[in-house]
Amino acid sequence: MRIRIVDAFTDRPFAGNPAGVLLLDSFPDDHWLQKVAAEVNLSETAFAHPLPAGGEADWALRWFTPTTEVDMCGHATLATAHVINTVGKAAGTVRFAARCGILGATAEADGTITMDFPTSELKPVAAPAGLVEALGAEVVSVHDTSAHIGDLVVELTDEAAVRGLTPDHAALKDLSDRGIIVTAAAEQPGRGYDFVSRGFFPGVGIDEDPVTGSAHTALAPFWSARFGREELTGLQGGARTGMVRTRLRGDRTLLNGHAVTVIEGELRA
């Protein structure tokens, strides 16, 4: 079977967030899926297979980190939609049935893909004990997110604080259900993005995820409320970065970005 590595939320290779993608006829047992994801050893490997015509979705989709299955993943969904479109298995909009519900992905005329995800609810919470020490930075606010995400959105003072973080990943591991998303407003919005973020997920085997699409279903309503605009662009990442364009539509958030296939090969296991 063919296996591909796709860089998501970027229009050039070796940037954005890489994901493994396997298109299958059906899902093998969970143990095999997890072994493949561990072998690929990226933040996410996506497995998809086509569904019978006439249903509410076209493909079944699952995502695995090197250590566990997750409920929602944006960049690996973008990567999967990119592969399905580029190999000619679909055109236009693809509907995925996943743990978090039905997700749409539409290929746009400019070469990008727009995904339709559920908007995360945000709940202000107190900073958990040890968060400030683990981050090594001043915290402005903390918000919890919806169940399928399970992150804490942590606002820092400015863009420089986000970019300069060197957190204690072991100390962050047990502070949220999934991970910690740190964010701040862009220092110079004229550079093409409105806010910055970084994502740390040691609890699911990922110290830092370069560009987390699912986190933007929480970042979009957070920053849209601050800026008073429905359409925003976020820049995420530390050493490796990518852009996510967001559009808030009530209980749905649209995420838009490019994707590039960088590796294609044969999986023999």
CA distance 97 to 167: 35
Two tokens at 3?
Answer: 């296996």
Contact 19, 8 (CB under 8 A): yes
Helix (H) or strand (E) holding 266: strand 259-266
Hunting for tokens 């299955």 — which residue is that?
A: 69
Give me the torsion for CA of 170, 175, 181, 186, rounded to 10°. -90
44 is catalytic: yes
Catalytic residue among 39, 44, 56, 231: 44
Counting beta carbons within 10 angstroms of the beta carbon of residue 205, is it exposed (0 to 12), middle (13 to 18) or buried (19 or more)? Answer: middle
Counting beta carbons within 10 angstroms of the beta carbon of residue 145, is it exposed (0 to 12), middle (13 to 18) or buried (19 or more)? Answer: buried
Helix (H) or strand (E) holding 128: none
Q: Which residues are catalytic?
A: 44
